Amino acid sequence: MIELKNKDCKVGMDAGELVSFVYDGHEFIHQKGSSGWGSSDTEMFPIIGPVDKANFRVQTPKGEAIQDQHGLLRQIPYELILQTESTGVFAKEYTAGTKVKNSKYPVKSTEPFMDWPYSFRFEKSFGLKERTLEIVFRISGEKGMPFMLGYHPAFKLHSSNPTIISNDQKISLDEVLAVGSRAFQVPNCNSITLQDEKQITIETKGFGHFMCWTEVKNMVCIEPISFYPYAVEQKDLDKGFQYLKDYAEFKVVIKPSF
């Protein structure tokens, strides 16, 4: 566990995963062991969404790649590369064609391994400034590599009637629950506020959209995404790709407000 502290704000990270964000004694992050989801955050890369109905294959300019839901990045461990009082930086590296063990096999998948025909480096940095947490994702690798990126944090709910506010839209927890595993789409949006017992705002740069997911009433995932995967059939998931130039950078800023 690595901790960043600034006055009455504290952030906890465990192997690159955001496991705690406490401001003035209030925990905003879903805790492992609580019902709903076994993680507290993760990344979706190089694809977002399921591929089971496409035989776990995704089309790329270099041919088919074997992927499972939300991509192979989450199966690769982070390495801590920098730590200061206010910063933590983690990285993952992947070499094209390397087989990555699929933890969903054999219970939820027919594919024991995943692969990707491009090499890349993926950095995730945490920076704590007063009561604001800034998370930056930097992607470098082969020029022209197709990819999507989604960030998947889970927020702990403290009240029975939380509200998600996007632009002029108010979304209830029941609306998110009703959509189920597909996740509630929030298109063309760079900022969302979760109004609960305490309020927190998630601002983004580079993503462009959100989706919201939960199957329980004690947490909700508010996920910045570059593409909503259910906009196309699984066999056409490649239509949601963007293509790497020299590098790509995405940012998420989390701000509590009391």
CA–CA distance from 115 to each of 5, 10, 131, 248 (Å)? 38, 37, 39, 21
pLDDT in tens, 147-161: 999 999 999 999 999
Q: Are 246 and 144 spatial neighbours (Cβ–Cβ below 8 Å)? A: no
| Mean pLDDT value across the chain | 96
Partners of 120 in the β-ladder:
94, 141
71 is written with which tokens?
Answer: 């991509």
Which pLDDT score is estimated for 130?
83
Residue 177 is predicted with a pLDDT of 97
**Percentage of the chain modeled with pLDDT above 90:** 95
Q: pLDDT band for 167, please (50, 70, 90 cuts).
A: confident
Model confidence over 42-101: pLDDT tens digits? 999 999 999 999 999 999 999 999 999 999 999 999 999 999 999 999 999 999 999 999
Over residues 15-23, mean pLDDT? 97
Residues 6+ apart with CB under 8 A from 95: 119
User: Taking CA 153 as the corner, what is the angle to CA 224 and CA 71, rounded to the nearest 5 degrees?
Assistant: 70
Tens digits of residue pLDDT in 117-134? 999 999 999 999 988 999
pLDDT of residue 131: 87
- Cβ atoms 24, 203 nearer than 8 A: no
Q: CA angle, 50 as apex, 45 and 55 as ends, to 5°?
A: 110
For domain 2-160+227-257, which architecture applies?
Distorted Sandwich (2.70)
pLDDT at 258 over 70: no
For tokens 């789409």, the residue is 185
Name the residue ranges covered by the structural domains of the chain.
2-160+227-257
116 closest CA partner among 258, 241, 257, 251: 241
**pLDDT band at 113; cut points 50, 70, 90:** very high
Which pTM was predicted?
0.96
Residue 7: pLDDT band (50, 70, 90) is: confident
Reduced 3-state DSSP string for the chain:
CEEEEECCEEEEEECCEEEEEEECCEECECCECECCCCCCCCEECCCCCCCHHHCCEEEECCEEEECCCCCCHHHCCCEEEEECCCEEEEEEEECCCCCEECCCCCCCCCCCEECCCCCEEEEEEEEEECCEEEEEEEEEECCCCEECCEECCEEECCCCCCEEEECCEEEEHHHHHHHHHHCEEECCCCEEEEECCCEEEEEEECCCEEEEECCCCCEEEEEEECCCHHHCCHHHHHHHCEECCCEEEEEEEEEEEC
Q: How far apart are CA 180 and CA 122, in angstroms?
A: 30
